[in-house]
Structure 1
Amino acid sequence: MSLFAAKPERLPLADGGFLAYHRSPGSGPGVVFLGGFTSDMSGVKATTLERWCRGRGQSFVRFDYSGHGASSGRFADGTIGAWAAEALEVLDRLTEGPQILVGSSMGAWLMLLTALARPERIAGLLGLACAADFTEYLLWERLDPPLRERLRRERVISLPSPYGEPYIIALNLIEEATRHRLLDRPELPIHCPVRLIHGMRDTDVPWRISVQVAERLASSDVRVMLLKDGEHTLSREQDLILLTRTLGDMLEGR
């Protein structure tokens, strides 16, 4: 049987829904993977990390936000606040002791929000193509006036995506996200080690976002790694090697 063939487990939520997840036992610090906008836990980064963590006996969790993958809920109903709260549910109920959070794109924004909410549980943060505040510059600012008016009128619209299924954009997602913006803050009181990897050919999230996040972090142990030929997904073999090597260094305290 394939390593990833087993059906996911379900974490029940207070609203009657559930989050689908896979959890591998092992030693700590544990590793939790937070995926990106419209992504799910079956992606290559999540499964590569699971295989790598199992190989070294490291505990690991990957999961789907509501409206994503195998979890319950409608994608159009999701918000940054709701998905961040779900990340906290996973941290609080599915893990023990210190954890390293690995966040991809939107997941890196949620990773930062989680670290702000549970600083005592976080041993380190590893962000890939960090999309902090992306609802502003990646969604709202890219809509021309007719599309903005249509979104205000219809509340939910569909836009083409270069990654397959169309993006479903809800006005509530954009409006609610303003409560969780990080780049407007002069400092982010996060004191753990942080590594941010970003491709300079990322046409979705500018690599300067990772630099702006690094500038605001209170931690002095922060490194930004820019890949000149890297794109947004960071899913090439060399990207995955860098991902696991960087995580290994963090786990070993280097």
Structure 2
Amino acid sequence: MAEPSFLQTAQGRSIAYHKTSGEGPCVVFLGGLKSDMQGTKAVHLEDWARATGRAFLRFDYSGHGESSGTFEEGSIGDWHEDTLAAIDELTEGPIVPVGSSMGGWQSLLLARARAERIAGLVTIAAAPDFTEDGWWAGFDDAQKAQLESEGRVALPSDYMEPYIVTKRMIEDGRQNLVLRDALELPFPVRMLQGTADTAVSVETATRLLEHASSPDMQLLLVKDADHRFSDGPCLGLIEQAVEQVLVE
């Protein structure tokens, strides 16, 4: 396995990445919370990009994978800064972000900050505003009190070890919400969502579909697909979605 390259950001973080040269627009994979760029979807898309001669970038947010920092220190805003640094420093011209779960939220923040760079967008089980509408809204009084007194609370996960949710992460998330104000996506968008996803609901997907403005936005629901969305048929659907926005 090739060793990653590293990008030093203005915030002093070291961001690990793999970049594949090829034809633009460059496809950029934005991973999920506590995921990394070695995941099945990221590596599969890199293989697809190489096979089709497409430029491709995958990277680890700070506190994830091989990048510097720890997860508990991070927040949505930090990872948005990491994403902007990767896009601004490592790509040129049009891009097609592919955002998975929390990466879907990151892709929407990216669209708000760099709309002129985006040729098309693909989301996979996008989880916009989950720190507020999922975590905070689901906390009971005891968890909210613990967050206030101790600065953190542990939440179980169906897919990995418990999440450590910090007070900073909740407060920072509130500064980066995308479903409260107008969300303009002036490019083709393809959203993929499994009906058996226990981390992100179909209702979240339809809320985003109804809230955002786009000239060409489609939501594909896949019966019985879970949050990983990484078996053979699902990976094929991701390829198709990327190809659709590339030819628009």
- TM-score bin (small chain): over 0.9
Q: Could you tell me which residue of structure 1 aligns to residue 58 of structure 2?
A: 62
Over the matched positions of the two proteins, sequence identity in percent amounts to 44
Q: Could you tell me which residue of structure 1 aligns to residue 242 of structure 2?
A: 247
Q: Following the alignment from structure 1 to structure 2, what is the Cα–Cα distance between the partners of residues 16 and 184?
A: 31
Alpha-carbon shift at residue 65 of structure 1 (Å): 0.4
Alpha-carbon shift at residue 123 of structure 1 (Å): 0.3
| AA at the equivalent of 2:42 | A
| Alignment length (residue pairs) | 248
Q: Deviations over 1:76-123 (max 9, x none)?
A: 111111111111111110001100000000100110110111111000
Q: Could you tell me which residue of structure 1 aligns to residue 178 of structure 2?
A: 182
Q: Could you tell me which residue of structure 2 aligns to residue 193 of structure 1?
A: 188
Q: Following the alignment from structure 1 to structure 2, what is the Cα–Cα distance between the partners of residues 94 and 44?
A: 22
Q: Following the alignment from structure 2 to structure 1, what is the Cα–Cα distance between the partners of residues 11 and 184?
A: 31
Alpha-carbon shift at residue 196 of structure 1 (Å): 0.5
Q: What SS does the corresponding residue of 1:164 show, helix, strand or coil?
A: coil
* Structure 1 ranges of 4+ moved more than 6 A: none
| AA at the equivalent of 2:235 | L
Q: Say whether 1:29 aligns with 2:31.
A: no
Q: Could you tell me which residue of structure 1 aligns to residue 87 of structure 2?
A: 91
Q: Out of 230, 233, 253, which is 2:225 matched to? A: 230
Task: Tell me which moved more, 244-253 or 173-182.
Answer: 244-253
Q: Could you tell me which residue of structure 2 aligns to residue 140 of structure 1?
A: 136
Alpha-carbon shift at residue 61 of structure 1 (Å): 0.3
Alpha-carbon shift at residue 146 of structure 1 (Å): 1.4
Tell whether the 8 Å contact from 1:76 to 1:156 is kept in structure 2 after alignment.
no
Q: Say whether 1:205 aligns with 2:200.
A: yes
Task: Tell me which moved more, 206-215 or 19-28.
Answer: 206-215
Tell whether the 8 Å contact from 1:123 to 1:192 is kept in structure 2 after alignment.
yes
| AA at the equivalent of 2:241 | T
Q: Could you tell me which residue of structure 1 aligns to residue 8 of structure 2?
A: 12
Q: Cα RMSD between the aligned structures?
A: 1.2
Q: Could you tell me which residue of structure 2 aligns to residue 79 of structure 1?
A: 75
Q: Following the alignment from structure 2 to structure 1, what is the Cα–Cα distance between the partners of residues 178 and 8?
A: 29
Q: What SS does the corresponding residue of 2:179 show, helix, strand or coil?
A: coil
Q: Following the alignment from structure 2 to structure 1, what is the Cα–Cα distance between the partners of residues 247 and 188?
A: 12
Q: What SS does the corresponding residue of 1:161 show, helix, strand or coil?
A: coil
| AA at the equivalent of 1:190 | L
Q: Gaps (5+ residues) in structure 2?
A: none
Tell whether the 8 Å contact from 1:138 to 1:204 is kept in structure 2 after alignment.
no
| AA at the equivalent of 1:232 | H
Alpha-carbon shift at residue 158 of structure 1 (Å): 2.6
Q: Deviations over 1:176-225 (max 9, x none)?
A: 1111112222x212211111111112111111222221222221200010
Q: What SS does the corresponding residue of 1:42 show, helix, strand or coil?
A: coil
Q: Say whether 1:52 aligns with 2:48.
A: yes
TM-score, with structure 2 as normaliser: 0.96
| AA at the equivalent of 1:228 | K
Q: Deviations over 1:3-24 (max 9, x none)?
A: xx01110000223321000000
Q: Could you tell me which residue of structure 2 aligns to residue 42 of structure 1?
A: 38
Alpha-carbon shift at residue 138 of structure 1 (Å): 2.3
